[in-house]
Structure 1
Amino acid sequence: MKQWSIPDNKALIWALIFIITLLWGYAWVLMKEALTYMGPFTFSAFRFGTGAATLLLIVWILKIGLPPKRYWKHLIIVGILQTSIVFLLVMYGLEFVDAGQSSILLYSMPVWSSILAVIFLGEKITPAKMTGLIMGILGLLTILGWDIWTGQSFDVIFGQLLIIKAALSWAAANIYYRLRVQELPKLQASAFQMFFGAIGITAATIIMEWGEPIVLNAESIYYILFTGVLASALCFTVWYIVISKIDMVSATISTLLVPIFGLTFSSILLDEQMTVGVVAGSALIIIGISIATISKKEGKDG
């Protein structure tokens, strides 16, 4: 069976993290805009159907083959946790919550991943990692501001809770992947988990949105192709490589860059306001990531 991986080069790994977080940040704008053309579940079915088809085609071209049968149930579980649950909840939540705030809530994921990594993977959170994590979460709370605590309608609170549940599901998927699926080629694992996840999303779409209007034009097709091929097929494959190369805490802390990019793109493209709190919170997140990763490198060199 052919393997597809990258060298154990820290600079390359962090360059890949930067690229995928940038693409994920931009994808939040497209996910929000797509709701003007179709229902949230319908868009997710198109997105991940496209992503899965892209990856399966690459797997076929590279002659990677099918995963061994003993891995199928694990890939189904990862697909349900990583793709079906996360993006059904996120896309439905986006009907009630702004794109920028939604991205912030989903990226509470590092907190849950770090806790689960300690419990199930036996990872240790060093003082530097803990400091970085706390600063990152303080950054998210600073960006959210007081609006999350006061004056929210029931619909907005409901949407926020859905997205936090999505963050928990993503964290669980990260841990389960490391425990049960990590030995598989990353392209193969990404392709088949996304395939199974897309089946779950399609089933939910048929039940919840059958017969609802769908507008397919140049703009909506662009949203589907960008989020399906780049933000899903490419980025999640690279994400599985990243979490197999570095510890879970460092990897997940790095995803706190996504809300910064999401808010920046939302400000430019959706005219969402870039406040002092957003700038200050972004600075805290970047400092937190730097503390966690630079201290880790120095510790290894010593």
Structure 2
Amino acid sequence: MEKLLEKLQENKYVLWILILTITIIWGYAWVLMKESLHYMGPFAFSSFRFGIGAVTLLLMVFFLKVGFPPRESWKHLIVVGLLQTAIVFLLVMFALKFVDAGKTSVLLYSMPIWSSILAVKFLHEKITPAKLAGLLIGMLGLLAILGGDIWMGQDVHVIFGELLIIIAAISWGISNVYYRIHVQHLSKLQATAFQMLFGTIVIFFVTLFMEWGEPIQLNADSVYYILFTGILASALCFFVWFVIISVVDMVTATLSTLLVPLFGLLFSSFLLNETMSFSMMIGFMLIITGITVAQLKQPRRV
């Protein structure tokens, strides 16, 4: 692993190709998540997806001889799994029944806004003028999307779905802060594998309770959606992502995730024929601008 990190640090072109590849896969995954609802319920798909993802990661843990996390960390991994895997994707997949895939990706990737707010309170990070301005701009973006839909008389189910996605983004932000406080000392692969395992268990029981007896169609398309999102988008991409953030600064890493909703919008537009409203475009630009501004470093005073 150390040799791989050294090679990536030496070859920045390979590093950026990896970043671009991951963000394209994550952006394309939104189309598959939306399309999967034609074949099964949102919770059943999440059970299949993260079940496959968790098994893949656990096999990587075994073959790479990473080992089990210490027992005192299990309760924290359960919390992270509940917040980051279970709550986020149960809410997002349910919301996808009503909300376009492209819009869902934009709203969910408002997560850095909520992470920044929570970091000030719980990680005692300073709220710089740049962060404050970025947060305000990002909030305006969310209001533009929600307010635009309300103003245009959008279906109440769509508004409800959008609110669920924002709650999911907040849950993701909480998990990031909780991870920094309680789990950061663990191996990245170890933490990802076991939090996904615990989150998947929660999703499985929710599926049994909410979707028992509902039809599940397993065919070439639906199996492809499960395998792509489970193995590639969930397991392998997260593993490569944690390798990447080990060799680049967090500002660069955070800014690169802004490509995900961009690709999500592009793929959804071309493959699902989704259209972007004016308020959607304004909201997207404001959220992207807000997150970018919040990441700016203040110049040092001489």
Q: Please indicate, yes or no, whether the TM-score normalized by the shorter chain is above 0.5.
A: yes
How far apart are residue 171 of structure 1 and its match?
Answer: 0.6
Q: Using the alignment, how far apart are the partners of 1:158 and 1:280 within structure 2?
A: 21
Q: Corresponding residue for 2:81?
A: 79
How far apart are residue 262 of structure 1 and its match?
Answer: 0.8
Q: Give the one of 253, 273, 279 matched to 1:271.
A: 273
Q: Give the one of 120, 126, 135 matched to 1:124.
A: 126
Q: Judge conservation of contact 2:110–2:287 (CA < 8 Å) in 1.
A: no
Q: Give the one of 112, 115, 122 matched to 2:114.
A: 112
Give the alignment of 1:1-302 within 5 angstroms: 6=5, 17-136=19-138, 138=140, 146-240=148-242, 246-247=249-250, 252=254, 254-274=256-276, 291=293, 295-296=296-297, 299=299
Amino acid paired to 1:55: L
Q: Judge conservation of contact 1:128–1:291 (CA < 8 Å) in 2.
A: yes
Q: Judge conservation of contact 1:90–1:166 (CA < 8 Å) in 2.
A: yes
Q: Higher mean Cα deviation, 216-225 or 249-258?
A: 249-258
Q: Judge conservation of contact 1:256–1:285 (CA < 8 Å) in 2.
A: no
Amino acid paired to 2:198: F
How far apart are residue 83 of structure 1 and its match?
Answer: 0.4
How far apart are residue 127 of structure 1 and its match?
Answer: 3.2
How far apart are residue 67 of structure 1 and its match?
Answer: 0.5
Amino acid paired to 1:192: F
- Provide structure 1 residue ranges, at least 5 long, that are not aligned to the other structure: none
Counting aligned pairs with the same residue, the percent is 63
Q: Using the alignment, how far apart are the partners of 1:42 and 1:191 within structure 2?
A: 20
Q: What's the CA shift string for 1:147-174, capped at 9, x where partnerless?
A: 2443022211221121111111111111
How far apart are residue 221 of structure 1 and its match?
Answer: 1.1
**Do the aligned partners of residues 23 and 116 (structure 1) sit closer, same or farther apart at CA in structure 2, a change above 3 Å counting?**
same
**Do the aligned partners of residues 291 and 17 (structure 1) sit closer, same or farther apart at CA in structure 2, a change above 3 Å counting?**
farther
Q: Judge conservation of contact 2:133–2:294 (CA < 8 Å) in 1.
A: yes
Q: TM-score normalized by structure 1?
A: 0.84
How far apart are residue 20 of structure 1 and its match?
Answer: 3.2
Q: Higher mean Cα deviation, 173-182 or 233-242?
A: 233-242
Q: Using the alignment, how far apart are the partners of 2:130 and 2:244 within structure 1?
A: 20
Q: Using the alignment, how far apart are the partners of 2:283 and 2:264 within structure 1?
A: 13
